[in-house]
Amino acid sequence: MLRFFAKYKFFGIFLFVLSAIIILIIYNVLKPQERLPVYQPNMVSNELVDSTIQEVRKYHTISDFKLYNQNGDTITQDFYDGKIYVADFFFTTCQTICPIMTDHMLKIQEKLKDDPEVLLLSHTVIPNADSVPQLKKYALEKGVNDAKWNLVTGDKKQIYDLARKSYLAAKSEGDAGPFDMIHTENFVLVDKEKRIRGFYDGTSSEAIDDLLHDIEILKKE
């Protein structure tokens, strides 16, 4: 009996290894690949979406824009062409949610500092006060990496239209008049085709971990 097992030992090992490989292949084939949804305006709460596009069901992308960053450089969609990016809305003198959001953006910046596929974009919601010099001062104070993260200012209507009609992330305080004020904690994940792939609470550490996880999923698509 012992001689029988000795004779077929290597054959048994071969079968065991082969079986393990086959099981692993079957598992990988049957296991569904993680994919992120492609968000359309009709999938998002109406309070976050401009009324003119709330029924849009497909083909939604981020509109082209022309804004100015902390260095006075003109920033357009070309800067983000072929990139994944995270966008948010803030203002430099905010004392409530914005400092937490900025800290979380800094965390993302640090985690992905060596990843050329992923960039960051923060829009001020009070562009009249947040001039280029003010954004530069804020960027230096916070440790913003200019190559990775643009803080942008510009025409208020353009920024607010981007929030409401492109990023679908705009909670508002006030009406459309001079006291209109966008207020949102949302971080928005945008893919290389300018489509929205996720929304995250920018004040939540757990949500930022989810965002970082989802970026890795998006990079594999």
- Tell me the binding residues for Cu cation: 94, 98, 183
pLDDT of residue 34: 85
pLDDT of residue 3: 56
pLDDT of residue 33: 76
1 vs 23: CA distance, rounded Å = 30
Extract long-range pairs of 104-108: CB within 8 Å, 24+ residues apart. 104/187, 104/202, 104/203, 104/205, 104/208, 105/149, 105/187, 105/202, 106/142, 106/143, 106/144, 107/208, 108/208, 108/211, 108/212
pLDDT of residue 9: 58
Is-contact 48 171, C-beta < 8 A? yes
Task: For the chain, list residues with pLDDT below 50.
Answer: 2, 4-5, 27-28, 174
- Tell me the binding residues: 94, 98, 183
Q: How many CA atoms lie within 13 A of 46 on its CB side?
A: 4
Q: What's the distance, Cα to Cα, between the start and end of the chain in Å?
A: 54
What's 163's DSSP letter?
I
Q: Closest Cα partner for 221 from 199, 203, 204, 197?
A: 197
pLDDT of residue 8: 55
pLDDT of residue 12: 55
85 φ, ψ to 5°?
A: -145, 160
Rg from Cα positions in the chain: 23
pTM here is: 0.83
Q: For residue range 94-135, what is the model confidence (pLDDT) as tens digits?
A: 999 999 999 999 999 999 999 999 999 999 999 999 999 999
pLDDT of residue 23: 61
